[in-house]
Amino acid sequence: MSSFTAQKITDDLTAPIFRRPSLAWVAGFLTSFALMHALVIAVAAYVWGGYGAFGVNSTVGWGNDIASYIYWIGIAVAGTLVSSILLLFRQKWRTGVNRATEAMTVFAINIAGLFPLIHTGRPWVDFWLIPHPNDLALYPQFKSPIVWDVFAITGYATTSVLFFYLGLIPDFATLRDRVNPKLALNLGFVSIPIGKLQRMLYSSLSLGWKGTAANWRHYERAYSQFAWISTPLVIGMHSTIATLLAVSLVPGWHASCFPPYFVSGAIFGGLAMALLLLVPLRSAFKLQEYITLDHLDKLAKIMLGVGSIVTYIYAIEFFSAWYSESQFEKGQFLYRLFGGHAWAFWLMLFCNVVCLQLFWFKRFRRNVWTLLFVAFMVNIGMWLERFNIIVLSLEHDHLPVNWNHYAFTGFDYLLLAGSFGMFFFQFLLFIRVAPIVAIAEVKQTLLHKTNHHA
């Protein structure tokens, strides 16, 4: 282990912000920016032509939008959960990964929030979901599980943004102090004082942070309290979404194991996304000393643990369906195995169960290519899991007259691809304005370790 100094840590972790963007970053940024427009096109087509722009039909009224919504919510859940739980359990290795996972949460949740708004069919009256007396003096129907979503998402988004922002405050102060105020972009006819603008931005965001003992005392207390609040909130939020499905009678949805199933699935998928972000990031920005193979190894181990829980629940769902003797439940699960979208089920099993088994071996957990491969496959698998739950259950419900095949339209593909574009666009933008590894927390951990060893 190289010896760390405060100066070195600050230099290393702020370098991605103050140096010129690399070609890889520019290429990634432009690609994701372009891809994000796929979402704009899809939404425009839907606003113009109505909900029929997507592949939903009279039976399968919940399609890509709800599957993608749950997928993105899952990604969002994992970020805060990993960060806050590791903080509560005093796991110091979290400092290598917590900023990236928290950022992932914030960007994923704003994408997730888009889908229910789209799903309402008339997004221009979505404000009716807000519980305030409207023109007709009506409040939302609180007994409707759909309304639970609104509270779950807004509550979770607020807390995760605050948790994320709070952690950033000392780092914004560091950036404020490192900005070169004389930096300017001279366009010939006008000079843009970039340095001053940057300093103004970081000064505002750092809320007058001075790094005094009082600052740190309040900060640490607030940060740990947010972790206490976030953990049950995040579990409750995703359980609410699971309950929304499970309280219905649709075969394939109504299973009492849904809340822990969704939460473990969310952590599983979210960790896969975190690996997908962290592995290239550490190479691109030369952060191997801060996001180490040990960090990736630990994330892979947690993935293996929660992935095993997910596998167990897959098995239990089938066993319960058989044990229940309900022809509808059994029919649903046989449909998943052999029906029109059976490929989606088998591919999900391959991605989430088979590929995951590589993580039993240390050499695969410490190999960046295997990590990337498994993380990529699990992301596909987790989206497919939501597709299987939502679409396949509706395709094959109680009444044979309702059995209908669901197919993506071109706009569905654009919507899905655009959501990934929007996610990576936000993430790539973020790593140019704030450190992707928490400087203040890394200093506390690594400097302590260095001094301790000395």
Partner 1 sequence: MSDHPRLETLPDIPALVTPKLKGAASVCIVAGLISFVALLATDANRAWGGFLSGLVLPAWLSIAALFFISIHRITGARWHAPLRRLMEGLSAGIPLTAVGFVVLAALGAPYLYDWFFLAGSPEHHALFVTESKAAWMTPGRWIATGLGVLALWMFLQWRLVGTGLAEDGGAVIKKAHTLWSIVFLVLFAYTFTLFAWDLLLSLQVKVVSAMWGIYQFVGALQAFLAVLFLFAHLARRSSLKQVVGEHTLHDLGTWLVGLSCVWAYIVFAQYLIIAFANMDEETQFYLIRFQHGYQAMATVEVLLRFPIPFLLLLSQTTRTNVLAGTVAGLAIVLAAMIQLVWIVAPVIHPNGLPTFPLLPELAIVAGFLGGYVLLALRFWRKHGLVARNDPDLLPSINAEHLH
Query: 90 vs 132, which CB is nearer to partner 1?
Result: 90
User: Among the candidate windows 56-64, 120-128, 201-209, 318-326, which touches partner 1 by CB under 8 A?
Assistant: 318-326
Select from 323, 338, 343, 361 the one that contacts partner 1 (CB under 8 A). 323
Per-residue binding string, partner 1, 10-49, x by CB under 8 A, is ----------------------------------------
**And the tokens for 315?**
């098995």
Binding mask of the shown chain, residues 343 to 362, with x at each position contacting partner 1 by CB under 8 A: -----------------x--
Binding mask 219-258 for partner 1 (x = CB under 8 A): -------------x--x---x---x--xxxx----xxxxx
The region of 102-110, 153-161, 309-317, 391-399 touching partner 1 under the rule CB under 8 A is 309-317
Q: Give min distance, CB of 351 to partner 1, in A.
A: 20
Residue 142 binds partner 1 (CB under 8 A): no
Q: Got the DSSP string for 170-197?
A: HHHHHHHHH--TT--EE-SS-EE-HHHH
Distance, CA of 219 to CA of 93 (rounded, Å): 20
For partner 1, which is the closer residue by CB, 245 or 291? 245
Binding flag, residue 181, partner 1 (CB under 8 A): no
Query: Quick one: which of 326, 370, 409, 445 contacts partner 1 (CB under 8 A)?
Result: 326
Cβ distance to partner 1 smaller for residue 250 or 384 = 250
The answer to whether residue 134 forms part of the interface with partner 1 (CB under 8 A) is no
Task: Name residues contacting partner 1, limited to 411-450 (CB under 8 A).
Answer: 448
d(CA 397, CA 250): 6
Tell me whether residue 9 or residue 85 sits nearer to partner 1 (CB atom). 85
- Which of 90, 132, 182, 453: binder of partner 1 (CB under 8 A)? 90
Q: What is the C-alpha to C-alpha distance for residues 22 and 103, in angstroms, rounded to an integer? A: 21
As given in the structure block, the two tokens for residue 446 are 């690594």
* Residue 339 beta carbon to partner 1: minimum distance, rounded to whole angstroms: 20
Binding test (CB under 8 A) with partner 1, winner from 97, 152, 313, 438: 313
The answer to whether 316 contacts partner 1 (rule: CB under 8 A) is yes
| Residue entry with tokens 């929030």 | 113
Select from 171, 317, 395, 397 the one that contacts partner 1 (CB under 8 A).
Answer: 317
Q: Is 1 in the site for partner 1 (CB under 8 A)?
A: no
Asked if 265 and 310 count as a contact pair (C-beta separation under 8 A), the reply is: yes
Write the interaction track for partner 1 spanning residues 277-306; mark x where CB under 8 A is met and - where it is not.
------------------------x-----
Q: What does each C-alpha distance from 274 to 150, 300, 432 come to in angstroms?
A: 26, 10, 18
Identify whether the C-beta of residue 114 lies closer than 8 Å to the C-beta of residue 126. Answer: no
Give the whole-angstrom CA distance, residue 175 versus residue 170.
9
Contact status: 182 vs partner 1 (CB under 8 A): no
Q: Of 158 and 256, which CB lies nearer to partner 1 in the complex structure?
A: 256
Phi and psi based region of residue 90 (left: phi greater than 0; alpha: psi -120 to 50; beta: remaining): left
Question: Which residue has tokens 């497919």?
Answer: 384
Binding of partner 1 at residue 320 (CB under 8 A)? yes
Contact 70, 268 (CB under 8 A): no
If one asks whether residue 155 binds partner 1 (CB under 8 A), the answer comes out as no
| Residue number with CB closer to partner 1 (30 or 315) | 315
What is the binding site for partner 1 (CB under 8 A)? 89-90, 232, 235, 239, 243, 246-249, 254-260, 301, 308, 312-313, 315-317, 320, 322-326, 360, 448, 452
